[in-house]
Chain A
């Protein structure tokens, strides 16, 4: 039986994460990291970015995948269900409210204005997660080498699907690290 406190914490933290995940995916990661690593100490920083990496190579929205994975890791099946449900709860609630508002009147400049300004902060959230992820990854010469190769892979071949590129980066990293360590 998983700890009820953990379930409750998962529920409240993913509720907040869902509410502020403007722009979906990558922009919700810095808030999620702050909640999971700094506030609730559910995972270490390295573990958190490991989960993100796994979410990246699995089908489905990245924020949703991270929530399910962290929930499962902390509290099994029940944790997974609670986290997944709570991360989408606020977006669903806001969608329903917005549908009703648009039913009453189709002109809502102030609502659009508020959300547009929140949307404009997406680059800020993404830069934060980049900083944190880079700090976690960069340690020695080989890590910088693999990072540089990854940038080449991702940026040089626009025709190849992103998933294939990411998996090849993993393969290259496996090769290099197995040889040198």
Chain B
């Protein structure tokens, strides 16, 4: 295998993404902030503009933010080799850490661990609630949007319909309303 400069750059990306993924606690969005520090400010591998542009595309897609971001950033910096190795670098550390944690928990599983995890579950509710508030308060939407949201939630809870179907239905309704009534009263209440 020839070791071209681009391949060399891609491998250095692998190690950088690997260490970001291994040592950043607090999930995807924190990781993205660290990526900006590393690639834009410290290593100057790409401009802030290209960084933001790549992230906007990455966050449009489904999937863990850290994974899609690494693909688009890796591609921007070093084409498909970069994208592949960056993604691998992000995925490997949590894989091994979770696998080890799984083994430990299976051995340690006791009443006390259950008590501890109960508190973590409660904290998770609070953290998810905080996240929900943040995304709802970030952007004001039309009244119509909130009504759709409430109806879908009620249907999902009372009728046990798959959330995937309701997700698609809701997105389709919003899409159609925006396409066919772009200047409707309901959409303009902002």
Contact = CB atoms under 8 A, between A and B. Distances in A.
Interface of A: 16, 18-26, 28, 30-31, 34, 38-39, 49-50, 52-65, 68-69, 72-73, 77, 80-81, 84, 88, 90-92, 94-96, 98-99, 102, 112-131, 133-134, 136-137, 143, 146-147, 149-151, 153-155, 161-163, 165-167, 169-174, 177-178, 181
A68 B124 contact: no
Nearest to A88: B67
Contacts of B93: 59-60
Given A119-B60, A154-B123, A60 B98 contact: yes
Contacts of A127: 132, 149, 153
Contacts, number: 287
24 contacts: A25-B28, A28-B62, A54-B105, A54-B120, A58-B94, A59-B24, A61-B31, A62-B27, A64-B64, A65-B98, A68-B98, A68-B99, A69-B101, A91-B61, A92-B87, A96-B71, A115-B60, A120-B170, A123-B136, A124-B152, A137-B121, A137-B122, A154-B127, A172-B119
Chain B binding site: helix, strand, loop or mixed by DSSP? helix
Given A26-B131, A94-B61, A169-B119, A120 B174 contact: yes
A126 B167 CA distance: 11
Contact of A170 (B71, B98, B119, B136): B119
Contacts of B149: 123-124, 127
B130 A173 contact: no
Which among B101, B118, B175 has the greatest number of chain A C-beta atoms within 10 A? B118
Interface residues of B, number: 75
